Each structure stands twice: as C-alpha cells, then as structure tokens.
Amino acid sequence: MTDKPKTRLTAIELDATIGPGPSPEAEHERRVAIYDLVEENSFTLLTNPQGPYLLRLSTADGRLIFDVLNETEERLTLIGLSMSPFRRIVKDYFMICESYYEAIRTATPSQIETIDMARRGLHNEGSELLKERLNGKVDVDFDTARRLFTLVCVLHWRG
C-alpha cells in the first residue's frame, strides 16, 4: 500500500442546505465526483501547503465558497470566487447534459458520441476556468479541477 501525498483533499462536503440535485443523473455525478476526488486528487493550498485538507463547498451572495480546513477542522482559508464567469458554461453544460441523457434513451451511437464530445468539451472549458480562477490560491491538477467543476455545477444548479 502506498502512502497518499499530504497535499490532497481527504474529504469534500457540499452545502446541504440548498437541497437535492436537479435529477437522479446529476446526483449520481455528484456522488461519483466526490468519491473520485477523495480517492485521487492533487490540491495544494499555496498559503498553507501542510495538507491534507477538508473542503467545504458552498455558495453565498453569488460567490462560490471554498472553505479549506485542516484535519482537525480548523479553517486554513476561505476563498470566494464570483460565480459570474461560470454561469454561461454551467448553463450550457446542463443543457448539453440533458440532451445527452435523452440521447442515451433514443439516439444512435454516433449521435450519442457527438453530444458526449460536446459535453466533455464544455466540462474541460469549465475545468480550465476553475483552475485559472484558483491560480495563486490553490494548485490543482486538471483531473482535480474537472471533478471540482462537476461540484460547482451541482452547487450552481441547486443554488
């Protein structure tokens, strides 16, 4: 068994006060993203690179809130990012996801593949934007940014 690096997330909590996800598929995506994040991620708080970390994600006043804590749940930092830059990508991403889930039920494999490519492209765009917005505060790899973007979408939709 290999030791996991200390500069990582060991737990992720979403603000439970904003209710359930918009669909069973979105709830499934949320659960998978959290599971995958806890299993494998690269997350380094630049002001305090002494992980591991607990991350509480929420929204407030049009901002995405990253509440980063240590293992004893002491706050290390609170990062607020405006949701405005994410709104278009999140809206487009949810529209294409709805099309994708509908296509799975009715479309041909080539149609499903085309929609899935567009869905992954938007997800990548949102992930890059999140990585860019966290620059100078938190260092994350692309896979971690992708999973975090999934959670941003869930929070945006719920909120």
* 4 Cβ contact partners less than 8 Å away, ≥ 6 residues apart: 52
**6, 51 contact by CB (below 8 A):** yes
Q: What is the pLDDT at residue 3?
A: 63
User: CA geometry: angle at 151 spanning 47 and 147, to 5°?
Assistant: 75
Cα separation of 27 and 31, whole Å? 6
Q: Which SS3 state, helix, strand or coil, does residue 85 take?
A: helix
Beta strand 138-140 pairing with 43-45: antiparallel
Task: Per residue of the chain (159 residues), give pLDDT as tens.
Answer: 456 678 899 999 998 776 666 677 777 878 888 999 999 999 999 999 888 999 999 998 989 999 999 999 999 999 999 999 999 999 999 899 889 889 999 999 999 999 999 999 999 999 999 999 999 999 999 999 999 999 988 887 654
Please state the pTM of the whole predicted model: 0.88
Cα separation of 81 and 74, whole Å? 21
Residue 134 CB neighbour total at 10 angstroms: 19
